[in-house]
Structure 1
Amino acid sequence: MSTPGTLTSERILEAAEETLRRFGPAKTTVVDVARALGVSHGSVYRHFPTKADLRDAVVDRWLRRMHPALAAVADGAGSAPERLRLLLWTLAETKWTRAQDDPEFFAAFAELADEARTPVVAHVDFVVAQLTKVITEGVARGEIASDDPAATARALFDATGRFHHPSARSEWVRPRIDASFEGVWTLLRNGLLPRGSS
């Protein structure tokens, strides 16, 4: 077990988040993170060989915090359409809340996310996999019509990007965004239902 003074990847990432929150991505350096930890920058580089690696790890850590809640919805009870709506709502609501409660870090995250392709792609793949799982179950139960659940899942993710992509955060003004989500979801749900369903 680590002692409080032991330098771990987790401690470095916590310090990196706080440093990014204070200075923003453009002004944050590995030296700043090391200084916040009271160690040499070489010690940080032993855990994260480049500044890009450290930034990617910060983005990955932030995105992975959402995954348990999303997986719980995908594996939960209810009809497939209900779970799809809740999964997309949970994804959006989590980001809306974080953007409101921690705007400095969310702005930093949004900037980093544009550069951090690997963690963002992994996150999108995770979300699409959860959607695919629910759609596949819905098709088997006759609740959803889809010849290709994975393609349908990706289309749902893309169609709702306005509600969860950081670049759209200026539009996340409530209650207007809530009503907009419901309108888009109603349209999408109606397109997913088997013919003759209402």
Structure 2
Amino acid sequence: MAATTAPLTPERILEATEEMLRRHGAARATVVDVARALGVSHGTVYRHFRTKAELRGAVTRRWLDRTSETLSGIVTGAEPPGAKLRHWLAGLFEAKQHKAGDDPELFATYSVLVAENSDVVDDHIADLTGQLTAIIQEGVDKGDFASPDPAVSARAVFDATSRFHDPAYAPQWSRPGIEDAFAAVLDLTLRGLRA
């Protein structure tokens, strides 16, 4: 990555950090590598991110937020709640499959970073379960779903489908039959929520 004359922004630092993580992995990528790629001193990077841990947390959040942002469009879409829930869960599974399959080295690196950043992961899970809660609440409001507590139901749905989005299960996502297993869990989940 060559240095440019564009102003140094947190976004540029995060882009450079992601590239260094892709090249070197979590264990070997350093703030000095990031600074060198940007053509600045590591002290300049530290003006934007006070510590290496803060930088790693920010790049992890950015990576996780890509999935959340994609899924949020489904939540606000016009589909009926059942179709929306199916679409959202399929979108989550597909996003995780792509992250694991399209760039396995970066996925492995982010798996390390996610383990280091439990607050970032907790925020991500809260965002995802919040999106699920909104879908289930919409279904309750329209009479499509029965749930005395949409937030509890959302967490149950999230936990019940974890095999299809928790990175711990990533080695299973490319196995034969995984799509059929996912469809069966989706069908069971939707039947369980129907009013």
Superposition TM-score, scaled by structure 2 size: 0.93
Identity of aligned residues (%): 52
Partner of 2:64 in structure 1?
63
Partner of 1:105 in structure 2?
106
Q: What's the C-alpha RMSD, in Å, of the aligned pairs?
A: 1.4
Q: How far does residue 62 in structure 1 lie from its aligned partner after superposition? A: 0.9
Partner of 1:10 in structure 2?
11
Q: 2:72 is paired with a residue of what secondary structure? A: helix
Deviations 1:121-151 (A, max 9, x none): 1211111111111111111211111000001
Given the alignment of the two structures, is residue 31 of structure 1 paired with residue 32 of structure 2, yes or no?
yes
User: Where do residues 142-157 of structure 1 align in structure 2 (5 Å cutoff)?
Assistant: 142-157=143-158
Q: 1:77 is paired with a residue of what secondary structure? A: coil
Q: How far does residue 158 in structure 1 lie from its aligned partner after superposition? A: 1.1
Structure 1: distance between partners of 2:151 and 2:44: 43
Structure 1: distance between partners of 2:182 and 2:11: 35
- Residue 159 to residue 4, structure 1, CA distance change in 2 (3 Å): farther
Structure 2: distance between partners of 1:162 and 1:107: 17
Q: Unaligned stretches of 5+ in structure 2?
A: none
Structure 2: distance between partners of 1:127 and 1:79: 19
Q: 1:66 is paired with a residue of what secondary structure? A: helix
The amino acid that maps onto 2:118 is R
How many residues end up aligned between the 2 structures? 192
Q: Which 4+ stretches in 1 moved above 3 angstroms? A: none
Structure 2: distance between partners of 1:108 and 1:167: 13
Q: How far does residue 152 in structure 1 lie from its aligned partner after superposition? A: 0.4
Q: How far does residue 174 in structure 1 lie from its aligned partner after superposition? A: 5.1
User: Where do residues 47-126 of structure 1 align in structure 2 (5 Å cutoff)?
Assistant: 47-126=48-127
Given the alignment of the two structures, is residue 186 of structure 1 paired with residue 192 of structure 2, yes or no?
no
Q: How far does residue 188 in structure 1 lie from its aligned partner after superposition? A: 1.2
Deviations 1:145-191 (A, max 9, x none): 10000010011111111111112111111552211111111111111
Q: How far does residue 6 in structure 1 lie from its aligned partner after superposition? A: 2.0
The amino acid that maps onto 2:151 is A
Q: Unaligned stretches of 5+ in structure 1?
A: none
Structure 2: distance between partners of 1:165 and 1:49: 30
